[in-house]
A and B are shown apart, each in its own frame.
Chain A
Amino acid sequence: MEPEISRVGLLDYGTRLRRARLGLLVALIPVLMLFVSFTSAYVVRQGLPSLDPRTNNLIRDWIPVALPRLLLLNTFVLLVSSVSMELARRQIRARAVMETNSTGTGVSSSDPTRMPWLGMTLVLGFAFLFGQWTAWKQLAANGFYVSTTPSSSFIYLLTGAHAAHLLGGVVALLIASVAALLHRSLKTRSIVVDVTAWYWHFMALLWIYIFGLMKFVS
């Protein structure tokens, strides 16, 4: 018996966008689990006493670290970048939809330099990463290295892990920018930008959480 079949429909923009967003949503879960896991280690480690070999007494070795004030500025930079990321997302999305409606070719003819918000987000992203690096330098200048005290270990760990994830977003934006030069379709680029935007917002929220954890749970 011949099975009932239908022709494979070619994937439209909406399907591709939905699938990419679903993929991102799923991908955020392990990122969340990674930081949930770090948080549980943070809380557990904070409550542990340590044996002092000289006096043979149990002492607390968790020395609260004064966070560099620069982190406040970095937070501000990241939040502004989140806004510009959102504007970039809406801009490229509108163009992709407009292009679909007008020509239906799906191939970009737009000038890559006409994406000011995308460029601004990239600059702010790099600024944030540089700011975090500078904050590390300041911590070290104050005598807090990775192994100095468990609280400084966690500060380096959490900021480092967050920065590594944000760097992933920066790379995705770079790809979206370079893709324009390679004449990839505007739709494909708009999907990359859309997904990166949601990721970027997640990174901003995650940073606020991490900052709060380091500031108030120490």
Chain B
Amino acid sequence: MATHESAAHASHAHAAPQGFIRKWIFSLDHKVIGLQYYFLALTAVFVGMFLSLLMRIHLIWPTATLPFFGEIKPETYLSLLTMHGTIMVFFVLTTAPQGGFGNYFLPIQIGAPDMAFPVLNMLSFWTTFLGFIVLLAAFVVTGGAPLHGWTGYAPLSALQSAGPGEGLGADLWITSIAIFCIGALMGALNFITTTLDMRAKGMTMMRMPLTVWAWFVTAILGLLAFGVLLSAGILLLMDRNLGTSFFVPLVTVNGQLTGHKGGSPLLWQHLFWFFGHPEVYIAILPAMGMCSQLLSVFSRKPIFGYKAMVYAIMAIGFLGFMVWGHHMFMSGMSPYTAFAFSIMTMGIGVPSAIKTFNWLGTLMRGRIRFTSPMLFAIGFVSLFVTGGISGPFLAQPVLDIYLHETYFVIAHFHLIMGVASIFGIFAATYYWFPKMFGRMMNEPLAKLHFWLTFVGAYAIFMPMHYYGMSAGLRRYSQSTEVAFILRLLPIQRFITIAAFITIASQFIFVINLFWSMFKGAKASDNPWEATTLEWITATPPPHDNFGGRTPVVNNGPYEYSVPGTPRDFVMQTDPEIKPKH
């Protein structure tokens, strides 16, 4: 029997490693891998923020010489913009909520000892890490980083001679994205298999926390979307290096024919956005799950309409694949096609509204505890509504043709995809920090961080709507040399100052994070009095999550303030409570 056990251990239930390298670097433990993803994203977000700060300074002070980049030429500005977008979308918004928190908490919340394929999980992180290094390498090669934006539109992205960053820098950029796709696919494979096959006894699908639902559906989106991006990247690399013409039509650069002919830049846009739109939901769905979880915990009420929330997540995921054309209204697409994409896009408003009303319904008449994670969850709802409400404007082709190239779009997607997701990450950090590190974060600092970030985010992005409606054009590096744009300069100044203050206040978060890891007050096993499985185990959780045992689940994830129970919460592992109705 002993050999049988060891065989099983070797294949799956690996023993706790002792050495530093196996424990913290090439770890197979989903919790360590989750933290690795988290700190990768934390590094990436500071690089991305730094780049955005350089852009903001350049916009209001075009002659300034900036650190690392010197004088900002128009093409340098485009490099900054490209790298800011790519780093933020892939290595922050996709990495932290899914790779970070999903990896750490999905197995625990379903009562599993680890992910289904631990080695694959480790490879998934190190692949992603490699992708990040390759991307950063684009800064230091000849010609610098690419100019083509995070969307990589051909033919600019497909021709080596198209600009200074379009040589080796662009090749590194595409390679980095391809590497990232492979890492993300390995992660998605693990998430889906683990959720389907490793739930504890009694953990039916409809007893899963909404966080797990969100990670699960996000993984499905990733599984369907990243393969398509990978294919587009391969075709683009071939166009660039093997002389094929998938995306490049007959085109001249500096008066010289390039040798390409017959390709379609629109083909790139279709393939890219077939990935790109689901990517938006890959960034936001985990934040929605975390928000649902936290609103219920800190309102001391069951989530309003659990089933509706599950179906809304699925509906958003499904519709997310039907609407990619709304990014291409400017491309000369047939008005009938545009109409279909427009209707589908506005259709997403329905499940989004269901979620929003359910969040409000959860808050209504709750006994709300205004802790820092709760503030960020409420902040998420606020930003989701504000950022979402401009969606139906942009979903109409007639309006989009005016607004598409302006800051209105920048304001829209930063609020809903960027800042809202980041608020989800902050909420999750403050909420799960005690479980991950065994200590509490400093609450007054956390609240200060919340208010500065919340007000700061609105101060940055609300004026961008007005700037956009006044025809302030995006991607322009010059805000002083065109008369009508010069008149809008005070708005840009205000935004830059707000960005400075908001970015500075993020250091409060970082200081709090690292200070609390070592000096924070000791956390109990269940400091928030929450019901899900991560709170029944030790803090921080042991190597196999539940100390050689596996929980048996008897209740749903949101049994708060149930009449007739001794406490105002019923753990998922508590004896089954009678149905309320």
Contact = CB atoms under 8 A, between A and B. Distances in A.
A55 interface: no
B226 A37 contact: no
B485 interface: no
Interface string B543-581: 010101111101000000000000000010111000000
Given A4-B554, A45-B264, A185-B7, A23 B189 contact: yes
A16 B11 contact: yes
Given A6-B552, A16-B12, A147 B261 contact: no
B523 interface: no
Interface stretch (A27-35, A110-118, A134-142): A27-35
Nearest to A18: B197
B262 A61 contact: yes
Contacts of A3: 536, 551, 571, 573-574
Contacts of B574: 1, 3-4
Interface in A1-44: 1, 3-12, 16, 18-19, 22-23, 26-27, 29-34, 36-38, 40-41, 44
Contact of A27 (B189, B225, B271, B571): B189
B230 interface: yes
Contacts of A153: 238, 242, 244-246
Contacts of A10: 4-5, 8-9, 13
A45 B3 contact: no
A135 to B, nearest CB: 18
A142 B51 CA distance: 51
Contacts of B546: 5, 8
A5 B573 contact: yes
Given A33-B227, A37-B232, A188-B7, A5 B551 contact: yes
Contact of B263 (A9, A16, A45): A45
A162 B428 CA distance: 41
A51 interface: yes
A23 B546 CA distance: 24
B250 interface: yes
B185 interface: yes
B137 interface: no
Contacts of A161: 234
Contacts of A143: none
B3 A51 contact: no
B53 interface: no
Contact of A37 (B192, B243, B271, B573): B271
B271 A41 contact: yes
Contacts of B8: 10-12, 16
B238 A11 contact: no
A89 interface: no
B223 interface: yes
A6 B234 contact: no
Give chain B's interface residue range (CB within 8 Å of chain A).
35 or more
A9 B263 CA distance: 57
Query: Looking at B5, B238, B262, which has the most chain A CB atoms within 10 Å of its CB?
Result: B262
B113 interface: yes
Given A61-B261, A147-B243, A150-B245, A7 B12 contact: no
Given A7-B550, A50-B262, A41 B238 contact: no
A66 B185 CA distance: 36
A131 B544 CA distance: 48
A72 B193 CA distance: 37
B415 interface: no
A48 interface: yes
Nearest to A161: B234
Nearest to B202: A4
B482 interface: no
B261 A50 contact: yes
Given A1-B571, A5-B551, A41-B235, A11 B228 contact: no
A66 to B, nearest CB: 20
A7 B548 contact: yes
Contacts of B263: 45, 48, 150
B196 interface: yes
B267 interface: yes
A51 B228 contact: no
A194 to B, nearest CB: 14
Given A5-B573, A30-B223, A146-B243, A51 B550 contact: no
Name, among B11, B188, B261, the residue most crowded by chain A CB atoms within 10 Å (CB to CB).
B11
Contact of A34 (B231, B262, B571): B231
B257 interface: yes
A92 B339 CA distance: 57
B267 A44 contact: yes
Contacts of A5: 546, 549-552, 573
Nearest to A30: B227
B116 interface: yes
Contacts of B192: 26
Contact of A8 (B11, B224, B544): B544
Contact of B250 (A51, A62, A150): A51
B201 interface: yes
B249 interface: yes
Contacts of A157: 234-235, 238
A107 B238 CA distance: 47
B549 A150 contact: no
A8 B550 contact: yes
B117 interface: yes
Contact of B246 (A29, A31, A33, A45): A45
Nearest to B12: A11
16 contacts: A1-B571, A3-B551, A8-B113, A10-B8, A22-B197, A34-B230, A40-B271, A41-B235, A45-B263, A48-B264, A50-B245, A51-B249, A104-B1, A146-B238, A147-B242, A150-B244
Interface of B: 1, 3-5, 7-13, 113, 116-117, 185, 188-189, 192-193, 196-198, 201, 223-228, 230-232, 234-235, 238, 242-246, 249-250, 257, 261-264, 267, 270-271, 274, 536, 544, 546, 548-552, 554, 571, 573-575
Interface of A: 1, 3-12, 16, 18-19, 22-23, 26-27, 29-34, 36-38, 40-41, 44-45, 48-51, 53, 61-62, 104-107, 146-147, 150, 153, 157, 161, 185, 187-188
